[in-house]
Chain A
């Protein structure tokens, strides 16, 4: 059973604000989705641990210095920037 407190806690972890007025309807919606997800709990299939879809292992490249993306181009997308850094003000 999903409660209002569950949603408040999950929203905090997700870094999302949920409006007080939407909390009840969202709890109800989430309860439906969780009930749907719960349908897998009754499935009994003898599977081992599954790793990944194509049995891939980590792909490492040689440890050599390569050119990175240019800082000034990266910063062009930042809402605020200063002296080659992303700028985050305490409040606005």
Chain B
């Protein structure tokens, strides 16, 4: 789960990371009063989960509170990469002498949190990694001992020659590490970490992603989820305990298991179709899940046919068949449905489907070819 900058700032400041004052606003008048309180020139920043906010016009300088209100007026409601801006962050504009990058990620290869720091801050770190890898220092932390003092200082000295500045930065590294481990992050990033003309080191941005698996035991973090920033169908799916991702094609897919769901989408493409979604109904048997899945998929007007691909293991195929039956009795499904099922209780499942005039296939390739042909006929 990605946090907005203003949410990340709260976690950073709670850990003691020096950041400019400021606050989040939902209206121009709120933005104006924040600007008045912090004084001087401010930056008004769109709070959306998209990169390139500046280029899209979502970041504006304002010299007076009235200008801040004006900037907020322009940015609020603006659409950046399809996402409507609901909130702006108002912070004092900082004078910048130098910019650095500090990031902490959960690294799959070393199976540890890994720091990445670079004196080339303020720009895309992946680009730095590709073009000038010597400008990045990486350091894996053993989570059982935490970030050791000499490790923090080594990272800081890669960024600052001045020892006072390096010590200040080392402290920020330790604070960032605390943010990361105490909130179950998969990413915590400061880009840029700036040096002011007076030599102070300040974090100007806060980018945080939380491991989704952490949210069950951390309701405080789960509350930070911004559902207005998501596809409505994906929000509905999550509430129904389904994993759903909307795509741009027209073959709706209902599958059990993530790997099989991906392989099903790939096979749709292989036979000349385009998947409309990724949907995993999960392992447990529950006809309600199937009903919810069909409701979500049929709400997409692009969908021209629906494919079920169920390999029964823990999932009972008769439960899936019952789910289809229940759904069809509850609401109209105007597009054709192709069902492939095999495994646990398939004989019962086939009977249930036959009872409502539907056929069930047992072969995945045959089912995918059939659904792709149906979509082509409909076009």
Decide whether A and B assemble into one complex: no
